[in-house]
Amino acid sequence: MSRRRCNVRASKWVLTGLGLVCLAIWAYAATHWVGVRYPGWSIKFSTGAFHFNLYRRVLSKSSGPPNWSHQRMPLQIEIMPWTYGVFWGQQYRGYVAVHMPLWIPFAATALPACLLWRLDRRRYPKGHCRKCGYNLTGNVSGRCPECGEAI
């Protein structure tokens, strides 16, 4: 097997694995609410997205252990690529929120993975070993001298 093909095959599997991990996190975030809240900021996974909130002014001065939350939610998937802005809440005078829908990391790994699967399936030209691509012109043994594949 050529070195380049070997690299394609390795990256193909790495990207496929990463894509599946991203898909699992995305699916989990679409059906759950998981988050941790500190007095000045919070992160959470919900509605199929990653959320980071920065509270500009904390009205309640309570400090203490972070407030972990985890619960099942009905399926909800955020599609909008980026939302960013200052929002007004009951508890806070305005906070900065950054959302990243989790289809983005999924697409960023799954699309190149699909490409590599296609690339890896591409056949070698006629007259070459279909396994390793070795040029078999003039070969009469019926076996590839490079990898031993039957012709």
The binder of Zn ion chosen from 29, 49, 110, 129 (CB under 5 A)? 129
Rounded distance between C-alpha atoms, residue 10 and residue 86, angstroms: 43
CB closer to Zn ion, 108 vs 146: 146
**C-alpha distances in angstroms, 36 versus 10, 24, 68?**
36, 20, 4
Rounded distance between C-alpha atoms, residue 32 and residue 76, angstroms: 9
Residue pair 119/109 in contact (Cβ under 8 Å)? The answer is: no
The yes or no reply on residue 6 touching Zn ion (CB under 5 A) is: no
> Minimum distance from CB of 5 to Zn ion (Å)?
11
> Minimum distance from CB of 142 to Zn ion (Å)?
12
> Minimum distance from CB of 10 to Zn ion (Å)?
19
Sheet containing 49-55: give its strands across: 67-72, 32-37, 41-46, 49-55, 95-101, 83-87
DSSP secondary structure of 92-132: BS-EEEEEEETHHHHHHHHHHHHHHHHHHHPPPPTTB-TTT
Pairing between β-strand 83-87 and β-strand 41-46 as defined by DSSP bridges: unpaired
The yes or no reply on residue 131 touching Zn ion (CB under 5 A) is: yes
The binder of Zn ion chosen from 6, 10, 115, 147 (CB under 5 A)? 147
Among the listed ranges 36-44, 88-96, 109-117, 143-151, the one in contact with Zn ion (CB under 5 A) is 143-151
The binder of Zn ion chosen from 23, 43, 77, 132 (CB under 5 A)? 132
CB closer to Zn ion, 77 vs 132: 132
The pattern of x and - marking residues 73 through 102 that bind Zn ion according to CB under 5 A reads: ------------------------------
Q: Which residues bind Zn ion (CB under 5 A)?
A: 129, 131-132, 134, 144, 146-147, 149
